[in-house]
Every structure is written in C-alpha cells, then in structure tokens.
Homo-oligomer: A and B are copies of this chain.
C-alpha cells in the first residue's frame, strides 16, 4: 500500500524553531555518564534521597481507594487538595495565598514555558540575572524576547540596576535561593529592595524556588511572594525535595495571570497526571517532608563542605568560588585567560567533568567560569576529582 516515489518534503519550520538548541548540559551529560568519570556536571538530585518505599505505598493506596478517578482525565488547574496544601504552605507573614492561585504543571520547566507563552512577544524585554538558570533561558528563548542581563554580586541580583531597564519590560526572572548555577542567595535586604523596585515599576517578578527548602542550616529565606502577592509569581517543584522523574511542579500567580496560564496549559497538555498529583499529596499530607528534607540537607551539606575543603586545598590562588548555604551548586571563577570550555576537554581526558559557565549567560558570557555539582558524588571522589581539576588549572596559571 506504500505509495511510489513520493516527493521528499522540504521542511519549513517556524521562525521560533530556529531558536531551539539542545541544552549544552544535557549534551555534556551524555558524555559524562560513563562510570569512570567523576562528574560534577550533573544537575540531578541524588537518587539516594528518593523515598521509593513511600511512593510505592502511596501508589498502591491511591489506586486501591480511588483508582478510577486517579486514572481519568482531571481538571486543568490540578488536584484541589494538593493545590490547597501548596497554598497553605506558602501563606504567611500576613499574606494569604489561595488555592485558586495555584496551577499544577509538568515540572517547573513547564511553568517557565507557559509564562513565556503568555507574557513574551517577539522583542519583549525580559530581565534575567547574570548568570541565570539555563532552563529558563531556553524556555523563554522560544518566544524570542530581548534578554537584558541584570547585574549581580555576592549578595545576588542588584536591585538598583533594574531601574534603567524596567519600564516596558514584561518580566524579571530571579532564582533567589541557592541559585542554579552560582549557589548564591539574595540577601534579605535585597529581597525587600527588589520587590519594592519591581512594584514601583509595575514589573512582574518571577521567584523561581526549586532549592529553597535545601538550606543546610534549615533556616529558610523569606519568600518574595509574601512581600507582594499581587506582583510576584512564585514557582515551586517537587523535583528536589521528593523526586524529579514524576515531573511535578507548580506556579502561583495573581488571578489575572493564573487564568491565562491555565488556558495556555489546557492547550499545551490538558492537565498534569491526576494519579501523580494524588500520590504526591498522599505522601506529603501528614508532614513527611518535614521529616524527609533534613536528610537531604545533611547529605548535600556534607558533600558541599567536602568540596569546599577540597577547593581550598587543591585550587591555586587566583581562583575564587562561591560558598553556598544550601542547594546543589558551587560556581568557580578562574583567571580571565583560562577558557572553561577548553579546560573541560582536558578534564574529560583526565576523567573529570563539570559544566562551563558560558551557557548560563543570556548575553555576553564570562568564559572563565564553571559550575560544579557535588550532590551525586561521594566525598572521597569529590576530593579526588577536585585535586585533578586543581592540577589542570595550576598548569595554566
């Protein structure tokens, strides 16, 4: 029944499809998954922290008690008891978040895509940190904005640098807690100043918070959404506190925006798995995360400490790095003449991997930066890998 000699298709793609690039990190990961490589390149949480037994019990319970509902189509905005749980956990400091403001998404990456879809026209000004989260740059790029890189320093984003570029911009995207890629956090004073600055300009502020719960001390930073619930869009995820493979995140937004996001989600994938939402609610509803998260903090905190000590010991003078108080990443700044991309080739030849910093910049990259993740590597391998990297860098000083 095959037809004879069909004309080949001359594919014509949408202009936005020309913006699509594979994440450089995902490309590196393909190379560095070989077991002999000590990889600091990953952005994956440690599977040692996944509550497999709790998930198994919850799947069994939800399917046994409520299988027909869990397996049927569900509402676009999500499973209400879970949205209520999220709203309750975010309310505080005199600000009340309503479940109607919560839209469940297929990982927080989808929230980025929906925000781009609903807020960004071609050429719209979009403000991002320098450097910024690569997944956000990728998601927004599809909608062809003009990215403006906002200044940062050791306290994170510099709010005053927004003033000249805020008016007419569509959004400011910030990752204030233990940022990916730098591991830096926005200081409390800066948070207030940032929220005030955005409010003065009427500029929507996106607070992306996948790592907020992973403070090693257990002390959380205040959330900006509580400082101005009508002007801040909050993004959360179960990927780093529970498990990423189930793809469950959420976005919390002021009502006019969340309704548009919901319509965009309906057109994009109808809704996120009911079963997954019911299972996650079953796992967390009675305080599981309060018992579980301290073990993740402790694991990551110890490995971060091991890496910081190793850096101190093995990296030559003239190299600097951040000292994270939580999360999964350390950001290294080399002397300007060392190109991290070239260093990566040598490192892989010596069986160590990391992610060069360049892809994290929306505009002109600092090519002498790199990102290290410590969460999936045991301390002795961390020391071994950092020693190798230190030698390679020292040879270039």
Contact = CB atoms under 8 A, between A and B. Distances in A.
Q: How many residues of A sit at the interface, in one of the four size bands? A: 35 or more
A180 to B, nearest CB: 14
Interface stretch (A220-228, A286-294, A344-352): A220-228
Nearest to A61: B56
A228 B6 contact: yes
Given A14-B120, A47-B68, A192 B21 contact: no
B71 A21 contact: no
A9 interface: yes
B106 A269 contact: yes
Contacts of A239: 73
A380 interface: no
A76 interface: yes
B3 A117 contact: no
B63 A52 contact: yes
B26 A50 contact: no
Nearest to A193: B3
A270 B55 contact: no
A113 B245 contact: no
A119 B72 contact: no
Which residue of A12, A13, A120, A247 has the most chain B CB atoms within 10 A of its CB atom?
A247
Which residue of A23, A44, A95, A105 has the most chain B CB atoms within 10 A of its CB atom?
A23
Contacts of A10: 202
A11 B247 contact: no
Which residue of A64, A105, A139, A243 has the most chain B CB atoms within 10 A of its CB atom?
A243
Nearest to A276: B273
Nearest to A48: B68
A315 interface: no
Contact of A275 (B22, B120, B195, B246): B246
Given A6-B199, A227-B1, A55 B71 contact: yes
A6 B230 contact: yes
A229 to B, nearest CB: 8
Interface in A195-231: 195-196, 199-204, 222, 226-228, 230-231
Interface string A1-31: 1110011111111111100111100100000
A88 interface: no
A379 interface: no
A394 to B, nearest CB: 34
B64 A56 contact: yes
A72 B44 contact: yes
18 contacts: A1-B227, A3-B196, A3-B199, A7-B199, A8-B231, A9-B231, A11-B256, A17-B117, A47-B71, A52-B67, A52-B68, A73-B245, A105-B269, A106-B247, A109-B269, A113-B267, A113-B269, A246-B273
The 5 closest A-B pairs by CB, nearest first: A6-B199, A52-B67, A71-B243, A20-B263, A47-B68
